[in-house]
Amino acid sequence: MKDTEKLEKIVSLAKRRGFIFPGSEIYGGLSGIYDYGPMGVELRHNIKQYFWDKFIAEREDVYGMSAAILMPARVWEASGHTELFTDPLVECKICHERARADQPEAIAEHENTHKKEKEKMGWSLPSVFNLLVETKLGASEATASQVYLRGEITQGVHVNFKNVLDSMHPKLPFGIGQIGKAFRNEITPRDFLFRQREFEQMELQYYIKPDEKTGTETFEYWKNFAFNWYLGLGFKKESLRLRQHAPDERAHYAKDAWDIEYNTPFGGWLEAWGIHHRGDWDLKRHSEYSKEDLSYFDEETKERYIPWDIECSGGVDRAVLFVLLEAYSEDELGGESRIFLKLNPKIAPIKVAVFPLLKNKPDLVAKAKEIYTTLKKKIPQMMFDDNGNIGKRYRRQDEIGTPWCVTIDFDTLGEKPELKDTVTVRDRDTGKQERKNISELSEYFKAML
């Protein structure tokens, strides 16, 4: 049986604390669509920044790019998605709800809702359902052309392979990375951010010389690189694993595929990230369909060939969900129970919160504002809070995962002369407070981050 209690707590915290809201909620929402609030957008930004730094900016062999979401239908014919990007769909004979035939748990869950009409329960024969989201572009019905919202961000890179070659003149091996939205008409969007219809992906396409040994070594390299990157988000080693796809599980483009999986409380081990050996599938098909030559000329060997592609593909929203599940903690502090997010400081939406001990003491407020403004120049993700009593403020910051809270009290102003110009710094995980000089704060937090 699924343990959804923790997931429900995350959904509730995400809404209560401004991380994630149901999409267009005041109009009843849309299934599988979510909006990110002020805290969620910072968390997501930090995860994406960490991807961009490690997979793209800090490397000399990878370029970044950003392709459009809308692409002509022909792209998806070439990539094989029009024909093969499908799920088996069945329809309930009682209520006509649709489900994926390959998800026994969802099927059983639905059958359970018809317990009283057991004898009528049954499903239609499976049909093939394409996941691409279609729309039309053009001013009139007659001339509008059918386009797709991209089902994976990958194709935006492959269709620009020649543009990158011609403009940047890279030598193999090299990669192209990007982050962006993808859309899938999932039959059963479920489990909060886990299976959505609009979501974000972060990907690297790494092009290599077509050669079995190079392929195997490069695949191993990126498999380990991606796994270590994922661990770096703040996961315990035992929460993640690598699993190879069985041949009948692989996507149509993959010669080999491995997933990084997270051990979720609601569904056991589930895919967080995929590493795919795509071979020459994409570039070859786009060469055929577009009639553009997407081969590479190897100056060293004087050979011309279609490179192979080793792909790293991660879901941004799935990373957000798994990070929240991993960080969610409950304990007792000072005799009171509390909820806190044990987020890695690097991705926490707010790094430091600054409070005056009391709201109605202008000297305290002015000093706290001064410290906040100075620190914010060095650490942009900061918050000033003077709302409610200090205990409540700590709880609020704990729930959004702020690693440190700085409190300005009367001693800061010199009530005890030996403590003048010092503040308390509270640690989120232990609740312990230390006194620090204002002048050392910026260096202290920078070192901790």
Residues at the interface with ligand GAP (CB under 6 A): 152, 154, 184, 186, 195-196, 199, 201, 203, 271-274, 311, 313-315, 317-318
Q: Which is nearer to ligand GAP, 21 or 410 (CB)?
A: 21
Q: Which is nearer to ligand GAP, 279 or 314 (CB)?
A: 314
Report, in Å, the least distance between residue 141 CB and ligand GAP: 31
Two tokens, residue 114: 């018809």
Largest CA distance in the chain: 82
For tokens 């055929």, what's the residue?
288
Q: Which is nearer to ligand GAP, 186 or 409 (CB)?
A: 186
Nearest CA to 172 among 222, 203, 211?
211
Report, in Å, the least distance between residue 61 CB and ligand GAP: 20
Report, in Å, the least distance between residue 309 CB and ligand GAP: 10
Q: Which is nearer to ligand GAP, 194 or 394 (CB)?
A: 194
The residue count for the chain: 449
Q: Which is nearer to ligand GAP, 194 or 372 (CB)?
A: 194
Q: 177: which strand partners?
A: 64, 204
Q: Which is nearer to ligand GAP, 83 or 427 (CB)?
A: 83
Cβ atoms 283, 161 nearer than 8 A: yes
Cβ atoms 439, 422 nearer than 8 A: no
Q: Tell me if residue 343 falls in helix, strand or coil.
A: coil
Two tokens, residue 55: 């997979």
Cβ atoms 146, 73 nearer than 8 A: yes
Helix axes 5-16, 316-327, angle to 10 degrees: 100
Report, in Å, the least distance between residue 214 CB and ligand GAP: 21
Report, in Å, the least distance between residue 211 CB and ligand GAP: 23
Q: Which is nearer to ligand GAP, 84 or 95 (CB)?
A: 84
Q: Which is nearer to ligand GAP, 273 or 355 (CB)?
A: 273
Two tokens, residue 225: 């690189």
Report, in Å, the least distance between residue 44 CB and ligand GAP: 13
Q: Give the helix/strand (H/E) hosting 212.
A: helix 212-231
Report, in Å, the least distance between residue 274 CB and ligand GAP: 4
Report, in Å, the least distance between residue 194 CB and ligand GAP: 6
Q: 279: which strand partners?
A: 309
d(CA 147, CA 80): 15
d(CA 76, CA 74): 5
Number of residue whose CB is nearest ligand GAP = 315
Question: Which phi and psi angles does 135 have, rounded to 5°?
Answer: -150, 180
